[in-house]
Structure 1
Amino acid sequence: MAKAPAALHAARKAVGEALDPEGLTLVGCSGGADSLALAAAAAWHHQRTNGPLAGARVGAVVVDHHLHPNSVEISGRAVRQLKGLGLDPVRIFPAQVDLHSADGPEAAARTARYRAFRTAMKELGATRILLAHTRDDQAEQVLLGLARGSGTRSLAGIPRQRGPFHRPLLDLTREDTEAICAHHHLDPWQDPANSDPRYLRSRIRTQILPFLEEQLSGSIRESLARTADIAAADAAYLEQDAKEVFAQLLEDPDHTGILRLKLKPLREEPPAIRRRVLALAAVAVGAPNPSFERLTAAEKLITGSRSAGPVQLEGDVSVYRGARGTAEYGKLVLVPPPR
């Protein structure tokens, strides 16, 4: 076998830090170069007989979205290669994609995929799943966040870990994963959706990022990924601060589920914390994460709007400022959706 590419050693090190040394770790695999490279790095640990991760159990899950006419064949080819690497167990799980979702086909497929991952974890008794997002994916995600104007958390891009999901390859490139696959004589599947201009992410990948590299900087992908790391640290700090402020300002909820926040100290918080506290309160009473527009409208109730509300948030949640002369005066009140 030819000399291993430097990226393989980096991948093995990063994967080793993400594996559960005592439980079953699954590799989420589509059959593409990124996830096969991740599987190859994980298999190296799976087969070791010494060291701190000796005996670490690594399997794989292939999610079949049934969106490609040859999806059964594609999934089967991925399974054969994963078993050839020595991973065990290796299973295919179907994903039920809502093609009529208002969020669009990409978001619907993602929702279905993560649902299948959780089912796989439960059925196979796994404790975590490794996903094969790379630095290229991170750069694309940051550009998507910029396009949507979604704030610090969106610019933070793809998290390295969230719950049981770990992404150890975020410091590697797509070119690195292709080199790892070539070294192991793996045959990755090329998903045509990755270059389909109907999808925004595909246009970013095939048109916008290459244009920015040519016209702005050849290191734009690294710069965007670095932006994600910085924004992630900032967002985590602000979110933790907001959680502490939320706990301090929240009055004990009554049996109706209505939440009341002390208005004056909330008004004195900086906007970055104030908005996050509002979002936490909205989610606590049953709303999805509020949009920027709805959050801005609710924030005006805190900062001195003549109107006391109510302001409607997503999920049928309403917010108003307690009226003078009532027990709710000096409080911001969030009312859950009717049952």
Structure 2
Amino acid sequence: MEKKILNFIEKYHMLQKEDKVIAGISGGADSICLLFVLLRLQEKIGFDVIAVHVNHGLRGETAKRDERFTETFCRERNVPCIVYHENVKEIAAQKKMSVEEAGRLVRRKAFEEVRIRYGGTKIALAHHQNDNAETMLLNLARGTGIRGLSGIRPVNGYMIRPLLGINRKEIEYYLKEHQLSYCEDETNAGDEYTRNRIRHQILPMLEEQVNRQAVRHMNETMEQLNQIRDYLEREIEEHCRCVVRQEEEGLLLLRDEWMQCDPVIQNGIIQKCLENLAGTGKDLVSVHVAAVAELFEKQSGRKRNLPYNICAERNYEGILLIKQTAERQTECREELIIPGITRLKDRNLRICCTIWEKDKNFSIEQIPQTPYTKWFDYDIIKNSLTVRTRQPEDVLGVNRQGGTQKLKSYFINEKIPAKSRERILLIAEGHQILWVVGYRMSSRYQISEHTKRIIEIKIMEDKKHGRDN
């Protein structure tokens, strides 16, 4: 089985030499298998492992038992283990979400904190093929599109799932073969949660009465759907450049350009814009996309209210999407914490900066082509970076030979309205602009074959200090 996992890791380029892996370990069968396999592969590949255990405060003495077991398992194998204690039930009530969602939130927060604190390059999670099949069925039953049906990605940024190529039975057999004990979570045994009913009733019935390889076949289908999804997202991103225009109030979808797109691309553009404004894709479904699309056939002035306080308004050019609660302050200046997280409370945003060494397997295709995540050559940067609004002396690099253009000229050439320019965020080194956020990055700081270190700058909605979505 280890060979199978190693092949899966290599297929998706999950781990490289000198990676520092933050592994989420609950003490259950899946995570113990993950940690044990990582340790077995450690010498072969050459990476470090740090374990993170989150006590959710839900199961009393049983949770303490899991915590002690995980700490002992790690100590016996010389693995650093960092433990978090959270009151998930209280967090769920405060944020008006399910206990399951709150648990996922605190785990991801803990993993991210440890990654930043210890310079982690990867976060490894223990999802396997059965988890993926459950996710697919759950999304299918609730109503979804290609994204929901494509399941859990093996690699999502620095999040990796090395066990997605194997199923639960293989994990159990492996643990038994190596005489590894683990903790049983009694909450997984009952059927009060929807996912548990799929796990205990629907999937076994499919395997017993339809096809014994049902889980494997579902995962193969999800892999194909992921490829289709990646292609569509690239197409949607490309079409957004001519269909969507950044305005001071929000995002403007230009009707004439939108009407020339294929219906699949049309819906994808709307979905992408809504997610950009909301900062999440959760609870944004096809009915909301359809409500926006219908406005193209309505008279100017017609509106639709959508989740996350987003309002869609028909005007003469198309549809303006506005997040009504967004702060409208113009002045902004903060020095970026590198590596780390910088919060812009007035804008309800957080900026996450991460640095890592470029490895020998790096390819240009790995560079994200998304409007709010960019990679830069960190070796070129000599001074501190700031996030701010424009200043008169600002210039933008137009080539790697040192050619520049005044930022004001760039705004004029791009026909960005004067009233919008004061709000646009810039990532700057002095008066050299690395990134006109939402528009373009400087050629001067682009990654090249000579790059040794990469800095990723990601801008996201700050849910901690803003609205609880």
TM-score normalized by structure 1?
A: 0.87
CA deviation after TM superposition for structure 1 residue 247, in Å: 1.6
Match of 2:92 among 69, 76, 99: 99
Alignment pair present for 1:65 and 2:52: no
Q: Identity of aligned pairs, percent?
A: 26
CA contact (8 A) 1:310 1:319 kept: yes
Match of 2:153 among 151, 155, 159: 159
- Correspondence for 1:141: 135
- Contact kept? 2:133, 2:219, Cα under 8 Å: yes
In terms of mean alpha carbon deviation, does 27-36 or 94-103 score higher? 94-103
Gaps of 5+ in 1: 1-6, 323-328
Residue 324 (structure 2) pairs with residue 337 (structure 1): yes
Matched, 1:249 2:236: no
The yes-or-no answer on 1:293 pairing with 2:284 is no
2:222 corresponds to which letter in structure 1? A
**Contact persistence 2:242–2:257 (CA under 8 A):** no
Partner of 1:326: none
Question: Structure 1 residue aligned with 2:312, among 308, 319, 322?
Answer: 319
After TM superposition, the structure 1 = structure 2 runs for residues 218-297 of structure 1, keeping only pairs within 5 Å, are 218-253=212-247, 256-286=248-278, 288-289=280-281, 290-297=284-291
Q: 1:18 aligns with which of 4, 14, 17?
A: 14
Q: Distance in 1 between matches of 2:26 and 2:9?
A: 18
The 3 A distance-change label for structure 1 pair 9 and 79 is farther
Q: CA deviation at 1:179?
A: 2.1
Counterpart mapping for 1:299-314 below 5 A: 299-302=293-296, 304-305=297-298, 309-314=302-307
Whether contact under 8 Å (1:29, 1:61) holds in the other structure is: yes
Alignment of 1:68-147 (within 5 A): 68-69=59-60, 70-87=62-79, 89-97=80-88, 98-100=91-93, 101-147=95-141
Query: What displacement does 1:99 show?
Result: 3.3
Match of 1:176 among 170, 178, 189: 170
| Change over 3 Å in CA distance of 1:79–1:14 after alignment to 2 | farther
- In structure 2, do the counterparts of structure 1 residues 110 and 128 end up closer, same or farther at CA, with 3 Å as the change threshold? same
Q: In the TM superposition, what whole-angstrom CA distance separates every residue of 1:33-66 from its partner, at most 9, and x where no partner exists?
A: 11111111111133x2xx5x23x21221112112
Secondary structure (helix, strand or coil) at the match of 2:245 reads coil
* Structure 2 CA distance for aligned equivalents of residues 186 and 142 of structure 1: 30
- Contact 1:24/1:57 (CA < 8 Å) preserved in 2? yes
* 8 Å CA contact retained: 1:287, 1:315: no
Distance 2:9 2:232 in 1: 29
Separation (CA, whole Å) in 2 of partners of 1:114 and 1:287: 16
| Amino acid of the structure 2 residue aligned with 1:313 | L
Q: Is the 8 A contact 1:294 1:312 kept in 2?
A: no
The answer to whether the aligner puts 1:44 opposite 2:40 as a matched pair is yes
Asked whether the equivalents of residues 22 and 111 of structure 2 are also in contact (C-alpha less than 8 Å), the reply is no
What letter corresponds to residue 261 of structure 1 in structure 2? L
Count of aligned residue pairs for this structure pair: 318
Aligned-residue offset at 1:214: 2.6
Q: Does the CA contact (< 8 Å) of 1:27 and 1:129 recur in 2? A: yes
TM-score, reference length from structure 2: 0.64
State the Cα distance separating 1:291 from its structure 2 match.
Answer: 2.6
CA–CA distance in 1 between the matches of 2:198 and 2:175? 24
More strand by share: 2
Gaps of 5+ in 2: 328-469
Which deviates more from structure 2 when the two are superposed, residues 77-86 or residues 163-172?
77-86
| Distance in 1, Cα, partners of 2:96 & 2:104 | 13
- Secondary structure of 1:62's aligned partner: strand
Deviation at 1:82, TM superposition (A): 2.5
1:4 corresponds to: none
For 1:137, give the aligned amino acid. D
SS, match of residue 92 in structure 2: coil
- Which range is displaced more, 8-17 or 161-170? 8-17
Following superposition, the deviation at residue 122 of structure 1 comes to 2.1
DSSP-derived class of the 1:229 partner: helix
For residue 18 of structure 2, what is the amino acid of its counterpart? E
SS state of the match for residue 18, structure 1? coil
Cα deviation, 1:151-209, whole Å, max 9, x if unaligned, reads 11000111111122100111101111122222332111111121221101100000111
Cα shift at 1:93: 2.1
